[in-house]
Structure 1
Amino acid sequence: MKYIKYILFAGLVGTMSSCVSDLLDRQPTTEVSSDLFWKSTDDALSSTYGVYNAIRDLYATDYYYDGQGEFQNTRGKSIGSITGWSPAAWVTSGFSSMWNNAYKTINRANFTIQNIERMIEIEGNATTRTSLERINAENYFLRALAYFRLIENWGDVPYYRHVLSGDAEACSLERIPIATIKDDILQDLQYAYEKLPASVSGGEAGRATQVAALAFKGKIELYWASWKKNGWPELKDFQQSTSEAQEYYKRAAADFKKVIYDYDLKLFGNGDPGEYQTPNYWKLFQYDNEYCQEIIFSLQYGGPNLGDGQGESLLRDFGTRSTANAQCWIMPTNRLVNRYQSTITGDFLPELILNNQENQENGAWNRKSYENRDWRMRSTILWNGEKMIKVALDGMSIGDSLTWMFGVRGEESKGFINNDASSQTGYIYRKWVRQVGIAERTQGPQDFYLMRLADVYLMYCEAVNETDGPSQELVGLINQIRNRGNLPGLKESKYANKEEFFKAIEQERIVELATEGHRPFDIRRWRKVNEIWGEPNSDGQTLYDTKGTRLRDEFKNASERDFQKYYIYQIPEGERSRNPKLTQNTPWY
């Protein structure tokens, strides 16, 4: 039974005061009287579920972030959709909503923590006190995730750990240095690790665990190490430090190592590839496997049976008109397809030739070009000739298999997937697209994964590689991930030194974590924007579809400041107008 079935009590859904409705989304002053609430662990848990729901709002569409990378196109909203760099429409409008959702989580957590700690102080029963401490630790964990999202996008942000006293305080908060925030959220995650259970099951499924706290603690340490190693010049007063980077790589590695070796976790299907027609990697992203050992923490969705707002919109965003009248807002590019390696050699294949000639050797429209590639490609993408089951308009029943053919519209009667309002690149996604009749396009039950064991493997490899270089242990972990794509193990040349092994890690992060919202954050912390799109005032890159038709130029004639804006978000101007103490990030002046 998923936690989202619980309804947030009245005090947490009241109206906000005018000054801070967007700025910090404070708790209202009309909460249920403490005479009626905050009397039991059920009360504490009910409020905590409200914090879980807030964190879901913050992270729910992380897959859209990949549109800021080179491997995913978002219709009308991707990076470089106009000449030069301009924040995509969804990012521009999203600045305020992401900021607001983060502070909504923080304020709900602070409110809940304050009241639970009062309960703990007066609780005489040791068992009940332990239960309350566990619930409190969940709020510490969720608050840490909200602050992490803020600092990875904006750097220095307003930071507080208490219930705000009123509008005057909320509208006078200054940005706190990222180093201070980092220290505190790592302490919060350490506290969560000490108080949370090692695992959950049954009715507790989806709640935070020791493993989740450790994994995210390691991730924040890894990001800090990356920023300290590579620099963050767009963030005022941020200083590089090789020694501090090494220290945090070691801290991250220690936490990841505990996750990997102390809890006996396994990759889904023990990392076996499964069958080509239904690979295990594809099954991993179907809702009946959302509680397997590989999933360390996810956003919970209950589907249509738990009321409005309790379902996900993955089908709407990833599917086509032929799957419950979905809208196909996002789609893979040929650049992603070119990253899937040969199951025979384990190496990259020649880049696809982009034209519509079905007999062109190595052509994008030649089905032979897709043979003997990493099975995760078939689990993730449809190319011309691939099939997908039709899902009825209401999402409640399924039909026959239909064939994907780029450019074909409205011809389901002839056996084709309807491309109306669909792909612009020539490919569509298979990953996350529901293939059973259970709910309409915005009411699905599929949990969205924020932390998987495979990601921990890769982050651990990265951290250890930075301090000690490659080893047989690290190569073995990478090969476990590659194995589920039915790929050979890494060749020795791929782990001859730190630089070569890093390339292998990056490669696996690209194909293993596609559509999960990681790529742009990797690009930023690794300082790879110029490597991918070129230097300022250059021709940038051009994205083409499978026919070879130009879709758009990316970073064409972009200035240095245009590139700088990629690395750090704009403090929402609406927030700055309400709070003059909020300074702006330099590239956005």
Structure 2
Amino acid sequence: MKRSIKYLTYTGALAGLLLTTACNDDFLERPPQNQISDATFWKSKDDLSKALNAVYSQLTREEIIYDDGSTDNAYAQYPWESVATVVSAGTINTNSNAGWGYTGIRRANQLLENADNIEMDAELRERFKAEARFLRTWFYWDMVLRFGDVPLVTSTLGAGEEDVPRTPRAEVVNFLLTELTQIAETLPVAYGGGDSNERGRVTKGAALALKARILLNEASPRFNTGDANKWKAAADAAQEVMGLGYTLFRVNEETGKDLEDDYAAWVDFADSEDEKIFRLGLRSYEKLFHQQYEGNSEVILDRQFIMQVDPQWNNTYLPPSMLNGWSSVTPTQNLVNAYGNYKTGGPANILDPQVRADLYLSENPAFANEYRNRDPRFYASIMFNGNPWNALEDGFKFTWQIGGSNNSQTGYNFRKLVDPQAHRENIDNHANIILLRYAEVLLSYAEAMNEYSGPDATVYAALNEVRERAGMPPVDEAVYNSKESLRELIRNERRIELALEGQRYMDIRRWEIAPEVMESIHDIRNKLVQARTWYDKLYLMPVPQSQIDLSDQVLTQNPGY
């Protein structure tokens, strides 16, 4: 039997749990010794909890970094690791799979079909179902972003039912928004801990934050022909989250090896108080993503990892070979240019690429001047020549190693998402991957309200909350005093605040700026790293031809492929 959607496989998350429908062959009527059938599994609250964990296990992991590799933010140099290399080059074809998959959706559907048969606390059962519905929405939204029309299936499919045509995108989006509105009424704002109430579960805030993300996308130029009310709906959804008690994560002091980093060599501090603002902004931003502070007040949803059981690999994918890394995803010069000036709050002074190359190749000390007085998030996010990081290794300063295996091709590596404590202790990185956080909500509110009615006090307040946490000056309201000027600042703020968190992929498409920004990239010597060509077909990814073939051509292909 051909399968257009891989519905009939449902691999569990814990202890190799496998849920399958029973076979009809006489020889196979007895339950398999290494599997659990539907008839014998769905009996208790514990069964339902395990099944829900199996749905959670499909949440986005560290592969989210490759989404930025498909944009102007980063270069993903290994095509065997992800499709980002061919997406960014413009050469992706129907032999690739850019995220078409139904495992998580199938698991959620099966849970929802069986939950009501279990005798357990009714309120808890409804909450478990709401969590599964959210996760199904998450998986569907990821596919809608990439493919547009996708088969909308809300029940498990039996033999002969597998070849399902694609559902129009608008219909799927309306379904997702309705789901999120409904389940937000069931999910709690927070969990107190203990059995079935562990931190890390989906909350009301997660449902509303994902709703705000979807509405922001739908209000944007690619999907909106001028209906201002779509922007208002996105702003209202973000504002709901803003009333739930989330706050931006901050550290109040530096300790340990952090004190040894000499940033006076890079920033012209006015006085000791100025230096303190800068350093605490840098530390607040970088430590937000470290295991030591996971689950902090800014986190709305994260993908959980279990110590010594389930590691994530950003400490391998992001650093260079000198730090036992692979440089899988590295910053572009264009991203480096986006970080503004710490002193003025405005754009940085960016060198002509050939001037930069000449300074670097001649070992002129003036080469370093371009990295002076930059946004604290630049120093927290980018490994550039001379950037100190004593928390990682005593006396460490980054130096680009040209050539060789596992080194950056652009001249930079990412520092963001690398956990220095795990590196120093020579253990795996188990920091949770943040999927939704409060800073994104504030930026979404600022963008939506600015587009709806132009700059106002609430827009500036949301932006300044994000900037001031990072140690940056507030927005200059005299300069950014129009919808158009503030739009450009907001877009840049999203870019640097959310770098490597997967949002740039959506942003350059919904704003329809991909044709302008997806340029070929060069290293700091002005040598070509990757030739990039944008085609408008790249607004959507190709449906894998293998899936079309399995569907007996019921599935159709996106235009241009």
Contact 2:387 2:397 in 1 (8 A): yes
Structure 1 unaligned residues grouped into runs of 5+: 18-27, 232-239, 392-398, 410-418, 534-540, 556-561
Specify whether residues 117 and 466 from structure 1 end up closer, same or farther in structure 2 by C-alpha distance, changes over 3 A only. Answer: farther
- Partners of 2:63 and 2:365 lie apart in 1 by 30
Picking from 83, 93, 97, the partner of 2:96 is 93
2:56 aligned partner? 52
- Partners of 1:532 and 1:50 lie apart in 2 by 39
2:342 aligned partner? 343
Contact 2:188 2:203 in 1 (8 A): yes
Contact 2:278 2:376 in 1 (8 A): no
SS in structure 1 at match of 2:59 = helix
What letter corresponds to residue 250 of structure 1 in structure 2? K
Quick check: 1:532 aligned with 2:517?
yes
Quick check: 1:265 aligned with 2:246?
yes
Shift of 1:482: 1.2
2:557 aligned partner? 584
1:495 aligned partner? 480
Picking from 122, 126, 129, the partner of 1:129 is 122
TM-score of the pair, normalised by structure 1: 0.79
What letter corresponds to residue 587 of structure 1 in structure 2? G
Contact 1:375 1:484 in 2 (8 A): no
1:208 aligned partner? 202
Deviating more after overlay: 46-55 vs 328-337 = 328-337
Shift of 1:408: 6.0
Quick check: 1:477 aligned with 2:459?
no
What letter corresponds to residue 11 of structure 1 in structure 2? L
- Partners of 1:70 and 1:278 lie apart in 2 by 23
Over residues 201-249 of structure 1, what are the superposed CA-to-partner deviations in whole Å (9 max), with x where a residue is unaligned?
44512110000001101111121222xx434xxxxxxxx5433xx3332
SS in structure 2 at match of 1:566 = helix
Specify whether residues 563 and 47 from structure 1 end up closer, same or farther in structure 2 by C-alpha distance, changes over 3 A only. Answer: same
Instruction: Give the alignment of 1:54-453 within 5 angstroms.
Output: 54-56=58-60, 59-77=61-79, 85-87=89-91, 93-95=96-98, 98-100=99-101, 103-119=102-118, 123=119, 128-166=121-159, 168-170=160-162, 172-203=163-194, 204-226=198-220, 229-231=221-223, 241-243=225-227, 246-260=228-242, 262-269=243-250, 275=279, 279-304=283-308, 306=309, 310-323=310-323, 325-352=324-351, 353-355=355-357, 357=359, 366-388=367-389, 400-407=394-401, 420-437=405-422, 443-453=428-438
- Partners of 2:21 and 2:409 lie apart in 1 by 42
- Structure number with greater CO (CA < 8 Å, separation at least 6) is 2
1:466 aligned partner? 451
Structure 2 unaligned residues grouped into runs of 5+: 1-11, 25-31, 253-275
Deviating more after overlay: 497-506 vs 268-277 = 268-277
Shift of 1:294: 0.5
Across the aligned residues of Structure 1 and Structure 2, the Cα RMSD in angstroms comes to 3.3
Shift of 1:331: 0.9
- Partners of 1:83 and 1:552 lie apart in 2 by 12
- Partners of 1:8 and 1:183 lie apart in 2 by 36
Contact 1:273 1:281 in 2 (8 A): no
Specify whether residues 489 and 288 from structure 1 end up closer, same or farther in structure 2 by C-alpha distance, changes over 3 A only. Answer: same
Shift of 1:113: 0.8
What letter corresponds to residue 46 of structure 1 in structure 2? K
What letter corresponds to residue 285 of structure 2 in structure 1? Y
1:553 aligned partner? 531
Contact 1:151 1:157 in 2 (8 A): yes
Equivalences, count: 511
Shift of 1:83: 13
What letter corresponds to residue 381 of structure 1 in structure 2? I
What letter corresponds to residue 266 of structure 1 in structure 2? T
Over residues 282-318 of structure 1, what are the superposed CA-to-partner deviations in whole Å (9 max), with x where a residue is unaligned?
11111111101111011111132x2xxx211111111
Specify whether residues 210 and 176 from structure 1 end up closer, same or farther in structure 2 by C-alpha distance, changes over 3 A only. Answer: same
Specify whether residues 365 and 445 from structure 1 end up closer, same or farther in structure 2 by C-alpha distance, changes over 3 A only. Answer: farther
What letter corresponds to residue 330 of structure 1 in structure 2? V
Specify whether residues 253 and 564 from structure 1 end up closer, same or farther in structure 2 by C-alpha distance, changes over 3 A only. Answer: same
Specify whether residues 135 and 507 from structure 1 end up closer, same or farther in structure 2 by C-alpha distance, changes over 3 A only. Answer: same
Specify whether residues 276 and 208 from structure 1 end up closer, same or farther in structure 2 by C-alpha distance, changes over 3 A only. Answer: closer
- Partners of 1:35 and 1:218 lie apart in 2 by 39
- Partners of 2:238 and 2:16 lie apart in 1 by 37
- Partners of 2:313 and 2:86 lie apart in 1 by 27
SS in structure 1 at match of 2:380 = helix
Specify whether residues 106 and 84 from structure 1 end up closer, same or farther in structure 2 by C-alpha distance, changes over 3 A only. Answer: closer
Contact 2:391 2:421 in 1 (8 A): no
Over residues 421-466 of structure 1, what are the superposed CA-to-partner deviations in whole Å (9 max), with x where a residue is unaligned?
2111111111111212479999421111111100001111111122
- Partners of 1:585 and 1:358 lie apart in 2 by 44
Over residues 96-119 of structure 1, what are the superposed CA-to-partner deviations in whole Å (9 max), with x where a residue is unaligned?
xx212xx10100000011111333
1:536 aligned partner? none
Deviating more after overlay: 135-144 vs 328-337 = 328-337
Shift of 1:543: 2.0
What letter corresponds to residue 265 of structure 1 in structure 2? Y
Deviating more after overlay: 422-431 vs 129-138 = 422-431
Shift of 1:199: 0.8
Contact 1:365 1:546 in 2 (8 A): no
Shift of 1:469: 1.3
1:571 aligned partner? 543
Deviating more after overlay: 541-550 vs 446-455 = 541-550
Shift of 1:179: 1.4
Shift of 1:351: 1.0
- Partners of 1:84 and 1:150 lie apart in 2 by 18
Specify whether residues 112 and 83 from structure 1 end up closer, same or farther in structure 2 by C-alpha distance, changes over 3 A only. Answer: closer
TM-score of the pair, normalised by structure 2: 0.83
Specify whether residues 176 and 359 from structure 1 end up closer, same or farther in structure 2 by C-alpha distance, changes over 3 A only. Answer: closer
Over residues 486-529 of structure 1, what are the superposed CA-to-partner deviations in whole Å (9 max), with x where a residue is unaligned?
22111124432211111111011111011111112100011112
- Partners of 1:371 and 1:291 lie apart in 2 by 33
Contact 2:21 2:38 in 1 (8 A): no
Shift of 1:31: 6.5
1:24 aligned partner? none
Specify whether residues 438 and 364 from structure 1 end up closer, same or farther in structure 2 by C-alpha distance, changes over 3 A only. Answer: closer
- Partners of 2:22 and 2:500 lie apart in 1 by 35
- Partners of 1:55 and 1:200 lie apart in 2 by 19
Specify whether residues 79 and 190 from structure 1 end up closer, same or farther in structure 2 by C-alpha distance, changes over 3 A only. Answer: closer
SS in structure 2 at match of 1:465 = helix
- Partners of 1:459 and 1:46 lie apart in 2 by 35
- Partners of 1:441 and 1:569 lie apart in 2 by 38
Shift of 1:389: 5.5
Shift of 1:6: 6.7
SS in structure 2 at match of 1:450 = strand
- Partners of 2:506 and 2:365 lie apart in 1 by 29
SS in structure 2 at match of 1:311 = coil
- Partners of 2:278 and 2:88 lie apart in 1 by 44
Contact 1:356 1:364 in 2 (8 A): no
